[in-house]
Amino acid sequence: MSEAVLLDTSFFLRFLNESSPLFKNADGYFRYFVEKELPMFISTISIAEYCVIGDLNELPLRNLQILPFNVRHAQRAGVFANTLFKARKGGGVDFKERLLIPNDSKLFAQADAEVHIKYYVTSDTESMKAYQILKQQSTPAFTLIDINRKHTEVFTTGTLGLFD
């Protein structure tokens, strides 16, 4: 497996809601990944988050590989969370409606620890803030893609995501 993507909870909230303003973008990404045969992963963490408001059976599991959170992920998540705690304590960031976004640290750690995952796909602006902080302090092994940009713009211009 050469390249793969990790789709976060916010992606599925847009992709599974046709009335969402980002539905068409999410659908475009999903179809693109299927067409290009890029393996798509969903974390058990995202499944838990989604199941707060939705049902597991709503997720397109036949097209997804489930990524369980493991010890390697936990170790990397601790490093990422530490970086974000320090940034928050130092006044370097203001996370709206969340203390730190601990699940984002875990999801980022999974994308970072799994060598085949090259892209983390989201629409979550708070998650993007956390990614920016991590990029300043370390070199995450994945590129964050914001689905506010259409897949045709991201994958045809040669520049990936807002933060590449």
pLDDT by residue (tens digit) across 39-85?
999 999 999 999 999 999 999 999 999 999 999 999 999 988 888 87
pLDDT level of residue 95 (50, 70, 90 thresholds): low
d(CA 15, CA 13): 6
Tokens in use for 97? 């409606």
In the block, tokens 């629409």 appear at 123
Supply the CATH classification number for the domain 4-156. 3.40.50.1010
Helix intervals (H) in the chain: 9-15, 23-35, 44-50, 71-89, 102-113, 125-137, 151-156
Average pLDDT score over residue span 96-117: 83
d(CA 11, CA 21): 12
> Residue ranges of the domains in the chain?
4-156
pLDDT level of residue 88 (50, 70, 90 thresholds): confident
